[in-house]
């Protein structure tokens, strides 16, 4: 499990250590220098003689970079600090100069970017957890915009004139590797927003614990490989801000049958999905539930013949269930399916059956529901759901601030909300947040959501009683389902195209491997 804490939580945790004189910056800088040395070795075969440029901002983030530069200098690295503020960390600056490094005061963003572009490794120490709203502006903003590809309003000099710097936009061995100090500078450290230029990192070295913005999109896409340096900070372990589950966590959440289990005790999942026009969604959702190993799958809808032809294990017609999946391939104007879903919602509300509410069923959601109901919108569907509830939003708005709007949907509906994406966010009871980045980009394909819904329904059916006893469990199960879904795509075809059916078929092997690794 990867836990993260907000800037305020980290500051509160470091305070007593700093007061006791623990040299946290020295520890952080030493570890940072070690990572930079490793990157140099990866790129050049050796550390000695490597060219490192430090981008240094006004605070302790810059201090970390300067001290790391001093350590690197002593290992024979050529280190130049580009000071991007009128004043940079005094001690760090003195340490770098004493070790034989150089400090260059940058006054021109184009010149600064040209110097930075010549490095083997560029260390981004402009801003860390002291970032205020609004991202990088002024000279630092212009320099980073120039380096990152000049995306920001063509003003590369920061003085209104046009620059001519070739940015780092293109990947390749001839561009510097970027190592970000604590966070890529300019991201919303606590919410993952990106409101200005940011230098995409190859590696981010974060101190004490991860920060939410490193796990949440869109900033999460700029982090590269994440290395967490443990500083023994007394962080509140039971109250992380955002969590990313690992394989062993998902395995621990999986409803593994006991020897005395029978099909009803293992859970029955009811699936209301599909229509004559969209039969595939019903086949995929029921297949995923069957292949995830639930006790029984009960199908309700107009394409029972097709479902049973593809999955003879499925039972059709009404009956008792432990959890529901509503909505894959359901159009809200399909009166019969609408009636079935509305009727089933009564069980969800009265008997406490957990439910996955997907696609067309999102429009049939009662005004408020318990947290054992999981909504699984993509960004466009979340925008529509919130627009229907008085917030005029577009898909792009949701993509810019996915955590904000997922949280709001949870607060307004009471449901656990899973926002599908390359990074999948889940917000549940008590404001718990999960950010899962397990899915390969190939998984963005038709029908993948139907598979996720079926798989999650199977998990919830297997843990229906636990979910009722512990309201926080639903979000964890939803996050674990996202993890298994992403892993199944890798199993189906590592690093290549996948089909939704292929992902469903890969579930038994994926789950077996996951349980074996725990
Ligand atoms: N956690 C730990 O245990 C350890 C943490 N350590 C390190 O300390 C870092 C935090 O350092 P920090 O508190 O000095 O803040 P930092 O991010 O350097 O920036 C503050 C400066 O930036 C300015 N500024 C802010 N926003 C701005 C903007 N948008 N545009 C322009 N300027 C802006 C701000 O100005 P002000 O708000 O004061 O006007 C202030 O001058 C942390 O990330 C980690 O690297 C390690 O050393 C030890 C162990
Ligand atoms: K930084």
- What ligand has the least distance to the C-alpha of 181? 2
Adjacency order of strands within the sheet including 177-181: 102-105, 78-83, 51-56, 121-125, 177-181, 203-207, 225-229
Judged on CB neighbours under 10 Å (0-12, 13-18, 19+), 506 is buried
**DSSP state, residue 294:** -
From-to residues of CATH 3.40.1190.20 in the chain: 247-517
178: three-class secondary structure by DSSP: strand
Tens digits of per-residue pLDDT, 206-254?
999 999 999 999 999 999 999 999 999 999 988 899 999 999 999 999 9
Residue 179 phi, psi (nearest 5): -110, 115
Strand partners of residue 204? 180, 226
- What mean pLDDT is predicted for residues 120-146? 95
> How far does residue 236's CA lie from ligand 2's centre (Å)?
24
Strands of 355-357's sheet, edge to edge? 2-4, 242-244, 433-436, 424-427, 416-419, 373-375, 355-357, 323-326, 268-272, 296-300, 315-316
pLDDT at 134: 79
Which pLDDT tens digit goes with each residue over 377-404?
999 999 999 999 999 999 999 999 999 9
In ligand 1, the atom with minimum distance to the C-alpha of 64 is: 47
Strand-strand pairing, 355-357 and 323-326: parallel
Contact 44, 112 (CB under 8 A): no
Q: How far is the CA of 55 from the centre of ligand 2 (A)?
A: 9
138-169: pLDDT as tens digits: 999 999 999 987 433 333 344 433 333 345 65
Q: Can you say which residues are annotated as belonging to the binding site?
A: 60-64, 124, 182, 185, 281, 329, 378, 420-424, 449-450
How far apart are alpha carbons 173 and 113 in whole angstroms? 18
Prior bond of 218 cis (ω within 30°) = yes
Q: How far is the CA of 418 from the centre of ligand 2 (A)?
A: 30
Residues 480 and 245 sit within 8 Å (Cβ to Cβ) = yes
pLDDT attached to residue 254:
96
**Which residue did the predictor score with more confidence, 162 or 462?**
462
Q: Where in the chain is the domain with CATH 3.40.50.10260?
A: 2-238
Residues with CB under 6 A from ligand 1: 10, 14, 24-25, 28, 57-64, 127-132, 134-137, 181-182, 207-208, 231, 233
Cα distances (Å, whole numbers) of residue 440 to 43, 227, 230, 490: 26, 21, 29, 7
Q: How far apart are CA 369 and CA 362, in angstroms?
A: 12
- Ligand 2 midpoint to CA 117 (Å): 17
User: Which ipTM was obtained for this model?
Assistant: 0.97
Which sign does the torsion angle of CA 71, 74, 76, 77 carry?
A: positive
If residue 102 lies in a helix (H) or strand (E), which one and from where to where? strand 102-105
pLDDT tens per residue across span 8-61: 999 999 999 999 999 999 999 999 999 999 999 999 999 999 999 999 999 999
For residues 334 and 401, what is the distance between their CA atoms, to the nearest angstrom?
A: 33
The residue whose C-alpha atom lies closest to atom 43 belonging to ligand 1 is: 128
pLDDT above 70 covers a percentage of the chain that reads 95
The CATH code that applies to domain 247-517 is 3.40.1190.20
pLDDT score recorded for residue 173:
60
The secondary structure of 347-393 as a DSSP string is HHHHT---EEE-GGGGGG--S---TTEEE---HHHHHHHHHHTT---
Q: Decide if 295 contacts 256 (C-beta within 8 A).
A: no
Cβ atoms 287, 343 nearer than 8 A: no
Spatial contact of 496 and 394, defined as CB atoms under 8 Å apart: no
CATH number assigned to the domain with residue range 2-238, chosen from the 4 options 3.40.50.10260, 3.30.70.890, 3.40.50.620, 3.30.70.1140: 3.40.50.10260
User: Ligand 1, from 54, 61, 189: best to mutate by most atoms within 8 Å of Cβ?
Assistant: 61
Report the chain's mean pLDDT, rounded to a whole number. 94
- In this structure, which ligand is nearest to the CA of 232? 1
């Amino acid at each position: 499990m990867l836990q993260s804490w907000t800037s305020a939580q980290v500051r509160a945790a470091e305070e007593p250590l700093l007061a006791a004189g623990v040299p946290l910056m020295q520890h952080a800088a030493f570890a940072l220098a070690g990572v930079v040395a490793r990157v140099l070795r990866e790129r050049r075969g050796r550390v000695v003689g490597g060219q490192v440029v430090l981008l240094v901002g006004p605070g302790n983030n810059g201090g970390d970079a300067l001290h790391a530069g001093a350590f690197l200098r002593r290992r024979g690295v050529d280190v130049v600090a580009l000071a991007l503020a009128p004043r940079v960390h005094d001690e760090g600056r003195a340490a770098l100069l004493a070790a034989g490094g150089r400090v260059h005061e940058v006054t021109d963003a184009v010149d600064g970017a040209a110097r930075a572009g010549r490095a083997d490794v560029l260390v981004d120490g402009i801003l860390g957890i002291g970032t205020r709203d609004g991202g990088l502006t002024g000279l630092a903003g212009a320099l980073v915009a120039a380096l990152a590809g000049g995306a920001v309003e063509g003003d590369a000099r920061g003085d209104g004139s046009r620059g001519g710097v070739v940015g780092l936009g293109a990947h390749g061995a001839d561009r510097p590797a970027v190592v970000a100090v604590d966070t890529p500078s300019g991201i919303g450290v606590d919410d993952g927003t990106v409101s200005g230029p940011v230098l995409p990192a190859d590696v981010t070295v974060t101190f004490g614990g991860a920060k939410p913005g490193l796990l949440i999109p869109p900033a999460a896409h700029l982090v590269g490989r994440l290395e967490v340096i443990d500083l023994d900070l007394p962080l509140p372990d039971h109250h992380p801000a955002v969590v990313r589950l690992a394989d062993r966590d998902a395995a621990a959440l999986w409803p593994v049958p006991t020897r005395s289990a029978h099909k009803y005790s293992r859970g029955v999942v009811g699936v209301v999905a599909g229509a004559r026009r969209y039969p595939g969604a019903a086949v995929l959702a029921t297949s995923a539930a069957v292949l995830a190993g639930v006790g029984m799958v009960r199908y309700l809808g107009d394409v029972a013949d097709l479902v049973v032809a593809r999955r003879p294990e499925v039972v059709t017609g009404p009956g008792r269930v432990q959890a529901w999946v509503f909505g894959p391939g359901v159009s809200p104007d399909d009166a019969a399916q609408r009636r079935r879903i509305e009727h089933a919602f009564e069980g969800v509300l009265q008997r406490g059956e957990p439910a996955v509410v997907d696609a067309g069923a999102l429009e049939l959601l009662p005004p408020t529901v318990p947290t054992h109901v999981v909504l699984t919108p993509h960004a466009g569907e979340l925008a529509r759901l919130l627009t229907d509830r008085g917030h005029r939003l577009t898909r792009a708005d949701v993509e810019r601030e996915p955590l904000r709007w997922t949280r709001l949907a949870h607060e307004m509906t009471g449901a656990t909300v899973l926002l599908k994406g390359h990074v999948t966010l889940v917000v549940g009871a008590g404001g718990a947040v999960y950010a899962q980045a397990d899915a390969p980009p190939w998984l963005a394909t038709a029908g993948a959501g139907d598979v996720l819904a079926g798989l999650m329904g199977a998990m919830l059916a297997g843990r229906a009683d636990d979910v009722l006893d512990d309201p926080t469990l639903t979000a964890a199960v939803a996050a674990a389902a996202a993890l298994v879904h992403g892993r199944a795509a890798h199993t189906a075809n590592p690093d290549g195209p996948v089909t939704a059916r292929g992902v469903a078929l890969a579930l038994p092997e994926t789950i077996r491997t996951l349980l074996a690794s725990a």
